[in-house]
A and B are shown apart, each in its own frame.
Chain A
Amino acid sequence: MSPIKAEAGSFRDPSGRIYIKDDQVFRTIMPVAADDYEAVRATGLIEELGDRGWLIGATEVAIDALESVATDASYVVEHPKIPFISYPYEWPFPALKAAALHHLDVHLAAMEKGVTLSDASAYNIQFIGTQPIFIDLLSLRPYQDGEIWGGHRQFCEQFLNPLLLRAKLGLVHNHWYRGTQEGIPAADLRRMLPLRKKLSRNVLLHVVAQSALQNSSATQAKNSEQTIKTGRLPKASMVRMLEGLRRWISTMEPADTGKTIWQDYANAHSYSDEEVRTKQNLIAEFVRTTSPQTVWDLGCNSGDYSQVAIDAGAKRSIGFDVDQGALEAAFARGQADGLDILPLFFDAANPTPNQGWNQAERQGMSERANADGIMALAFIHHLAIARNIPLDDLVGWLMGLAPTGVIEFVPKEDPMVKQLLRLREDIFPDYTLDAFRHHITKRGRIVQDTQVSAAGRRLIQFERKPT
């Protein structure tokens, strides 16, 4: 049994904190937030949203469930564990959009019961498959008539502006968001938008006016503080604002609608139908024999093989890709089929690091590694050839992610590799099937090794040596 640990990312709000004990997740509710919690609980909202799957479940447990760690707490609740924590800078556009809409839906449902949200952090939304869920119980607190929406600016920075970046300018939010962690400030977006894209009521209000007023000298003056602090927003106006944002965001689509390289891969790749079936059968067989709960699908594309893995009995798949079009297609597949697949933006040559306060607030990808099995199909050549990553290191990294998995070896004779080497010198004498097998066998054993394409692609299933 491991000791109880405070979750490093949950320090901002003094109302309470998350603690992890083995596989259990607890939240403290401190005396300062106890009255609000009791008032919200009395409205029945927590249960209602929990039943709908909108809000994470919360069961009150004894204070000493956390032993001596939180004896000063008023309440301790236990939450079910989210299978995989992901961050807005890893979400593709449709996931960020779904998260934004979910935040507004939770807020609107809360307002009907006289409850509001104290903040609008995108990190308070998580995903189970492609289904967003609100996880911060203590953001809910009683609405006081006439109060302003304190989370509006945060909502704009963490949801609205990153969506607008793509919807208005065709730029993806992931890199910028990962850099700032807090999203995109209105002032920055305002500087980037050309005049004609500012000329809509919503952009003028939430981006242009908000940023202009933020910087205006009148509002910066010391004695304006009292005026600003005492402002009122009638409830009907606040609800209209939330509804207006909901309507607006629900129509947003990426501006760069041209097909990306991989979006159409499933229809245009270098496999024949029969080869695809062989590949599918091998993946299904891998899942049936190793029974992984969570599969990581590296280079998931539109999620074809995640689907095969889930159909064969895997509980869920976390998909990773760099291509936005592919991620969007995979997300749409998850939504349409209710498939437990979460496609995330991920560059294996530059994975999400530990970052934020004390480099511990948001975890890096390795820290969150939870796969029981991995699939790396048509993947390694993009790193070994296109990104010059030594094959031995690459195999070591992949085999470090899970005790078992399937890796596709794509030889130099393959048209895709030829394409990658077309304009550059072949500096990869060690990129061979023999070397690849050797790198695996020094770390474990090869369980299955089958040719799947005429050009010599092979699916190789490994089992890591027990550590």
Chain B
Amino acid sequence: MRYISHLLATTMVLSVTAIAPAQAYLDPGTGSIILQLILGGVAGVMVVMKLYWHRLLSFFGRGDSSSDADE
């Protein structure tokens, strides 16, 4: 578990290279972004899994259910 969590965190850091569009006067919406990350392939799916990871852990009785903290 710890290892997978670590791997995810690393993937996430690696994928943190993109930039918010320069002239983004428009709110793209979280739903749309996450959908696009999933459509974008493995790296994106990892990022999304990371978002839901703590939910999953708390569902199985691990981790702190009151927090979604990444770190």
Contacts and interface: CB of A to CB of B under 8 A. Distances in A.
A, B bound: yes
Interface of A: 12-15, 32-33, 36, 118-119, 141, 144, 146-154, 156, 186, 205-206, 209-221, 223-224, 226-234, 237-238, 240-241
B9 to A, nearest CB: 11
A146 to B, nearest CB: 5
A190 to B, nearest CB: 11
B34 A213 contact: yes
Nearest to B25: A13
Contacts of B33: 148, 228, 231
Contacts of B40: 231-234, 237
Contact of B55 (A14, A36, A146, A218): A218
Given A237-B40, A237-B41, A241-B39, A213 B31 contact: yes
A118 B26 contact: yes
Interface string B3-32: 000000000100111111111111111111
Given A118-B21, A227-B12, A227-B50, A233 B36 contact: yes
Nearest to B50: A227
B28 A218 contact: no
14 contacts: A118-B24, A148-B28, A150-B21, A150-B26, A150-B28, A205-B39, A213-B35, A214-B29, A218-B68, A223-B70, A230-B47, A231-B40, A232-B18, A233-B36
A119 B18 CA distance: 18
A223 B51 CA distance: 9
A211 B19 contact: no
Contacts of A221: 68
A237 to B, nearest CB: 5
By Cβ-Cβ distance, the 4 closest A-B pairs, closest first, are: A214-B31, A153-B29, A153-B32, A221-B68
A227 B25 contact: no
Interface in B26-71: 26-41, 43-44, 47, 50-52, 55, 68-70
B22 A148 contact: no
B55 to A, nearest CB: 5
B36 A152 contact: yes
Given A150-B26, A218-B52, A230-B16, 13 more contacts: A152-B32, A152-B35, A152-B36, A153-B32, A205-B35, A213-B35, A216-B52, A227-B50, A230-B15, A231-B37, A232-B17, A234-B41, A240-B39
Nearest to A32: B23
Contacts of B37: 148, 231-233
A36 B18 CA distance: 18
Contact of B18 (A14, A148, A154, A237): A148
Interface of B: 12, 15-41, 43-44, 47, 50-52, 55, 68-70
Nearest to A234: B40
Contacts of A220: 30
Contacts of A152: 28-29, 32, 35-36
Given A141-B23, A227-B50, A233-B37, A213 B17 contact: no
Given A141-B22, A234-B40, A151 B29 contact: no
Contacts of A141: 21-23
A228 B34 contact: yes
A233 B28 CA distance: 13
B44 A231 contact: yes
Given A33-B23, A232-B40, A227 B35 contact: no
A224 B55 CA distance: 12
A100 B17 CA distance: 31
Contacts of A240: 39
Given A224-B68, A233-B44, A211 B31 contact: yes
Contacts of B50: 227
B24 A150 contact: yes
A237 B34 CA distance: 14
A233 B39 contact: yes
B19 to A, nearest CB: 6
Contacts of B32: 148-149, 152-153, 156, 210, 214
Contacts of A154: 26
A211 B25 CA distance: 21
